[in-house]
């Protein structure tokens, strides 16, 4: 239960952090789409651990294997299974956590729900689970790009009190990948890197905000009431590990405006298309895409597993303390960037296929 996402483009992820591997089964991918492991690997490399001095030092190549659903470089329309094998697990680092619950982690709640948990690296609650999402989204992105020219770009907007000045309408992937923190504001990025290094040396962690823009999203994607586009986007990104908040368009700042200040007035552009003068709606109105850029933000908490000593309890209900061992990101934000892109791509691809199925047109 709870391991499958989507309606027509359905993904089911599997695996634990320190098990044999992690991966995904994708059902509903259209046939005859050109795809290769090398294309999928591009986004997995952006997500993998050990890629810079401000991420976890765990060394995983995260090389993907396509096990089914692709023949001669094209999708068959049948389920696509993708596997990434774990290679650099150090389960002994988690021996103490077999009995001690990590504060603000999933240890206690998994025990409460299942009566058993894989305590090695967090098991299913580890961010390694997102490998399957990112792999599936590489295919979803290609569908979106070929069908409608959709472009999805995420970047680090803020880390703790440091916030970059970034224009979501013009930011480029090259700018995002121009530094290890993935903040397109180069001056702010330097300060962010320094802060993360300082926090990491102290054994603590910090959080922040990832912003995402989806451009050229066709009008009409989304559905009334319970399947509103922003509702599905919220569910998608809020299912990511460490996510704690979601905004779209003006978000919470919009509550400070009046109706006349907040409304997006309409006009007809030089191609005869209905557009909005402003985009405080964030590209979605009434739960349906209006053709403007979809702009959303996701808040991520500080990494829960830290090396500082904290009060906790054991699985037997005894008070104790824990200073966690293991290799963990002092800040999840740089590696969360491709994860946010992945969930946005999965939602948009699913709604694109649903729109084609229901209305027959984009």
Identify the three-state secondary structure at position 10: strand
The tokens for 24 are 């995904």
Identify the three-state secondary structure at position 193: helix
**pLDDT for the residue 88:** 66
Domains and CATH numbers, the chain: 7-359 (3.60.150.10)
Virtual torsion, Cα 112, 115, 118, 122, nearest 10 deg: 0
Identify the three-state secondary structure at position 256: helix
* Other Cβ atoms closer than 10 A to 352: 24
Cα 44 → chain centroid: 12
Residue 148 CA to residue 215 CA, distance in Å, equals 10
**pLDDT for the residue 59:** 67
Residue 209 CA to residue 337 CA, distance in Å, equals 10
Write the burial class of residue 252 (CB in 10 Å: 0-12 exposed, 13-18 middle, 19+ buried). Answer: exposed
Tracing tokens 């992105």 back to the chain, one arrives at 141
**pLDDT for the residue 132:** 97
Specify whether the CB–CB gap between 326 and 316 falls below 8 A: no
Identify the three-state secondary structure at position 47: helix
pLDDT, one tens digit for every residue, the chain (362 residues): 799 999 999 999 999 888 889 999 999 999 999 999 999 999 999 998 767 788 776 667 889 999 999 999 999 999 999 999 988 656 666 778 788 899 999 999 999 999 998 887 777 888 899 999 999 999 999 999 999 999 999 999 999 999 999 999 999 999 999 999 999 999 999 999 999 999 999 999 999 999 999 999 999 999 999 999 999 999 999 999 999 999 999 999 999 999 999 999 999 999 999 999 999 999 999 999 999 999 999 999 999 888 899 999 998 999 999 887 766 789 999 999 999 999 999 999 999 999 998 887 55
């Amino acid at each position: 239960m709870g391991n499958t996402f989507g309606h027509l483009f359905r993904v089911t992820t599997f695996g634990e952090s320190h098990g044999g591997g992690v991966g995904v089964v994708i059902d509903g991918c259209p046939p005859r789409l050109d795809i290769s492991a090398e294309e999928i690997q591009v986004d997995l490399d952006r997500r993998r651990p050990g890629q810079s001095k401000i991420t976890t030092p765990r060394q995983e190549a995260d090389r993907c294997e396509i096990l089914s659903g692709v023949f001669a470089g094209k999708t068959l329309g049948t389920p696509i299974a993708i596997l990434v094998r774990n290679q650099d697990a150090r389960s002994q680092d988690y021996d103490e956590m077999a009995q001690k619950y990590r504060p603000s982690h999933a240890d206690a709640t998994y025990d409460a729900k299942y009566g058993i948990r894989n305590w090695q690296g967090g098991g299913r609650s580890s961010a390694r689970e997102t490998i399957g999402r990112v792999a599936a989204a590489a295919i979803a992105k290609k569908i979106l790009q070929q069908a409608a020219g959709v472009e999805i770009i995420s970047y680090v907007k803020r880390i703790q009190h440091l916030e970059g000045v970034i224009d979501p309408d013009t930011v480029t992937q090259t700018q995002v990948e121009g530094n290890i923190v993935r903040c397109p504001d180069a001056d702010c990025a330097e300060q962010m890197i320094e802060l993360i290094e300082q926090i990491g040396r102290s054994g603590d962690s910090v959080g922040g905000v990832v912003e995402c823009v989806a451009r050229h999203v066709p009008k009409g994607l989304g559905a009334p009431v319970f399947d509103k586009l922003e509702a599905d986007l919220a569910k998608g990104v809020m299912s990511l590990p460490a996510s704690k908040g979601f905004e779209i368009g003006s978000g919470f700042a919009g509550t400070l405006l009046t109706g006349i200040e907040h409304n997006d007035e309409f006009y007809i552009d030089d191609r005869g298309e209905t557009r909005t003068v402003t985009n405080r709606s964030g590209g979605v109105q009434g739960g349906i895409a209006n053709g403007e850029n979809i702009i959303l933000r996701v808040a991520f908490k500080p990494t829960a597993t830290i090396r500082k000593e904290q009060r906790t309890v054991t699985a037997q209900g005894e008070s104790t303390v824990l200073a966690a061992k293991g290799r963990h990101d002092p800040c999840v934000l740089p590696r969360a960037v491709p994860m946010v892109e992945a969930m946005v791509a999965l939602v948009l691809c699913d709604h694109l296929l649903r729109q084609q199925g229901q209305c027959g047109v984009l």
